[in-house]
Structure 1
Amino acid sequence: MRAFGFLSFGHYGNGGGVRGVDARQMLHDAIDIAQGADDLGVNGAYFRVHHFATQSASPMPLLSAIAARTQRIEVGTGVIDMRYENPLYLAEEAAALDLIADGRVALGVSRGSPEPADRGWEAFGYTGSTDPRGADIAREKFEVFLEAVRGRPMARAAQSPYGAPVAPGAGLRIEPHSPGLIDRIWWGAGSRDSAEQVGRQGLNLMSSTLLTEATGDSFGELQREQIDRFRAAYREAGHTGSPRVSISRSIFPVVTGEDRLLFGMRPGEASDQIGIIDGMRSTFGRTYTGEPDQLITQLQADPAVEAADTLMLTIPSQMGVALNLRILQNVAEHVAPALGWKPSTEGPVQGDPVGAS
């Protein structure tokens, strides 16, 4: 494991079962958690994106604030819902964020997760999907987004261009442009087939917090097969870089008696869970809670942890800054080093270029 960071869902408000945390407090806490994580040498601060819910949304302002307050930590998403996005505007925002962050962005995007709204993307003005889950428009817009991030022409100059020194009819790319950003785009894959498609595209893989498959194998075994298929498809497509792979886990080390009171195992969390998501039988990963030696043994036996280079810890962000930094510190001091991790002292983990073509 080369890197670990935290993944926040950004819950707030009574509607989400959280008391005393409003949207303002959630955002300020997120900045403070990220700054504290940066001081600890933790590698990444990643945020989920949900719409029509009392959770994180509109990630660019938050990530820009974090980038301005930190020095080394990678900032990113897990994941942006492409159904709701204008791909060219997202490319502009992502490039600006990457320039502010001096290349510390890891932008995870995907079709998006199940949501409270019925075809909510249509309320944002994106109609025409024939898929009840909106996967068709998400993929179409993602391809446009990639072209824009690569700096390809996305419009033509007018016959009498105004406000820019360009020739009439010349191809115009999205501005600003961040040349290295394409190598830090991730697709959030929830199945083995989608992971293979990511490999063929030459991007990084962000394995989902749940998989829309249930074969009888454990969550870690399913993810490991997903990762292996991704890497095989990447090589078979002729890509020669070293793409990164992330997985997420809920890990709560018990180091003190107070930790045991706070994180004591609840029924059903010690094993994977099976449920129905978007009409598909799906697998959810277990929660790891225990003393460090126990956690190390369990995580070393997790085939997906063995295969991935980046581990995202899902955190109870609504529980405040101090508690979440304690969780991260406990993992950094007592668990992660045994998995091969070393604290960040210079900057984010970088892979070889993966998608520059």
Structure 2
Amino acid sequence: MKKKIGFLSFGHWRNVNASQTRSAADALLQTIELAEAAEELGVDGAFVRVHHFERQLASPFPLLSAIGARTSRIEIGTGVIDMRYENPLYMAEEAAAADLISGGRLQLGVSRGSPETVLRGAEAFGYVPAEGETAADAARTKTELFLAAIDGAAVARTDPARTGISGGLAIQPQSPGLRDRIWWGAGTRATAQWAAGIGVNLQSSTLLSEDTGVPFDQLQAEQIESFRKAWRDHGHDREPLVSVSRSVLPITEDIDRLYFGDSAQEDQIGLLEGVRSRFGRTYAGEPDQIAEELARDEAVRAADTVLFTVPNQLGVAYNARILEAITKHIAPAIGWTPAAAVPLRGR
């Protein structure tokens, strides 16, 4: 299976020693620059994580639109947007605009979101759950409305007093094909099956909120197979896409060893919100060693796209060198071949 690869940035910033992202402006502008560098290396995707009430990237659409305007080939996406915080119709307008600006390169990951330090954060944004509605319920309901809106459904009515007619209105603009490029971030086999039911692609989470005792990659591969089976059972008329994320830190210079020499680890297992969960390991070491390990990773083998998380606070040049090591020594071992390099524009 020919694979795509991308980078995934959380966009951290801290005004501390050694950080290359001292401010929100640093994190945003450097994400754009890293996407340009990644495109030049032949990387397929530039993805960002969305977190609210944190010193991390939070408002993806201006950033994705800027990346889209500064690049010409690389896919732009999220992993993931917490739908509890979103107005589905306004988000549909923003998503369509970003997709049009990029020429149809948006790959939008959405979900219920991850555990947060904020208490009832979505309520602070004005979204109070209905009686008996869970966070997962709210996210799914909003996602279904968002999907209908980008698919061109009538989501509002004309005003007969002004128009003399009564009819339905869709959000504008519309971006054809965007509906097929929406992904659901799933942390269990059950949520993966739900994603298959509504016909969206799967972003398998690096944190699975279930644990059967098997290694993380095998558990994730089971989730992927469960998703694909459910997709077939629903009879959708296209093939679904699946992505997984991996923390990969190739050590090629002494500075890498100083930063990451002790980072390699096994799966982490623990209780998260009262549920036994399993979190994927970090791959740190010589590139050839990592390549061999990832080539045996069952979920990596099953996925269409592999997203590599980047330590964005170390700056654009450092992260571009990590991506270069991945493209030269690691990604080919998992079935990736580089896209045509695109010269940087305006640099």
TM-score (norm 2): 0.94
Corresponding residue number in structure 2 for 1:355: none
Q: Deviations over 1:170-200 (max 9, x none)?
A: 2100000011100100000011100011112
Query: Aligned letter for 2:38?
Result: A
CA shift for structure 1 position 132: 8.4
Q: Deviations over 1:89-148 (max 9, x none)?
A: 000000000000100000000011111111110111111245686111111111111110
Separation (CA, whole Å) in 1 of partners of 2:322 and 2:235: 41
Contact 2:129 2:135 in 1 (8 A): no
Is 1:311 aligned to 2:312, yes or no?
A: no
Q: Deviations over 1:149-177 (max 9, x none)?
A: 11000011111446xxxx72121000000
- Classify 1:129/1:18 alpha carbon distance in 2 versus 1 (closer, same or farther; 3 Å): farther
Separation (CA, whole Å) in 2 of partners of 1:255 and 1:174: 50
CA shift for structure 1 position 346: 8.3
Q: Deviations over 1:53-82 (max 9, x none)?
A: 111101001111110101111001000000
Is 1:92 aligned to 2:89, yes or no?
A: no
Is 1:282 aligned to 2:303, yes or no?
A: no
- SS of match in other structure, 1:335: helix
Separation (CA, whole Å) in 1 of partners of 2:274 and 2:132: 13
Query: Aligned letter for 2:42?
Result: G
Corresponding residue number in structure 1 for 2:288: 293
Separation (CA, whole Å) in 1 of partners of 2:124 and 2:110: 20
Contact 1:274 1:283 in 2 (8 A): yes
Query: Aligned letter for 2:308?
Result: L
Corresponding residue number in structure 2 for 1:174: 171
Which runs of 5 or more structure 1 residues have no equivalent in the other structure? 348-357
- Classify 1:78/1:243 alpha carbon distance in 2 versus 1 (closer, same or farther; 3 Å): same
Stretch moving more, 227-236 or 204-213? 204-213
Separation (CA, whole Å) in 2 of partners of 1:227 and 1:265: 31
- The counterpart of 1:211, out of the listed 204, 208, 211, is 208
Corresponding residue number in structure 1 for 2:259: 262
- Classify 1:26/1:346 alpha carbon distance in 2 versus 1 (closer, same or farther; 3 Å): closer
- SS of match in other structure, 1:115: coil
Is 1:23 aligned to 2:24, yes or no?
A: yes
- SS of match in other structure, 2:160: coil
Query: Aligned letter for 2:74?
Result: I
Corresponding residue number in structure 2 for 1:196: 193
Separation (CA, whole Å) in 1 of partners of 2:128 and 2:19: 33
Query: Aligned letter for 1:291?
Result: E
| Equivalent residue runs for 1:120-159 within 5 Å | 120-130=121-131, 134-159=135-160
CA shift for structure 1 position 18: 5.6
Which runs of 5 or more structure 2 residues have no equivalent in the other structure? 343-347
Contact 1:220 1:304 in 2 (8 A): yes
TM-score (norm 1): 0.91
CA shift for structure 1 position 19: 7.7
- Report the number of matched residues: 340
- Classify 1:18/1:281 alpha carbon distance in 2 versus 1 (closer, same or farther; 3 Å): farther
Corresponding residue number in structure 2 for 1:230: 227
RMSD (CA atoms): 1.9
Separation (CA, whole Å) in 1 of partners of 2:159 and 2:341: 45
Separation (CA, whole Å) in 2 of partners of 1:308 and 1:327: 22
Separation (CA, whole Å) in 1 of partners of 2:98 and 2:234: 30
Q: Deviations over 1:232-268 (max 9, x none)?
A: 00000011311110000011122334433333123xx
Over the matched positions of the two proteins, sequence identity in percent amounts to 55
| Equivalent residue runs for 1:8-87 within 5 Å | 8-14=9-15, 21-87=22-88
Query: Aligned letter for 2:208?
Result: L
Separation (CA, whole Å) in 2 of partners of 1:285 and 1:179: 36
Contact 1:187 1:204 in 2 (8 A): yes
- The counterpart of 1:336, out of the listed 331, 338, 341, is 331
Q: Deviations over 1:192-218 (max 9, x none)?
A: 100011112221000112111122111
> Which 4+ stretches in 1 moved above 4 angstroms?
17-20, 129-133
- SS of match in other structure, 1:80: strand
Q: Deviations over 1:320-343 (max 9, x none)?
A: 001100110000011111211111
CA shift for structure 1 position 21: 1.6
- SS of match in other structure, 1:77: strand
- SS of match in other structure, 1:61: helix
Contact 2:42 2:341 in 1 (8 A): no
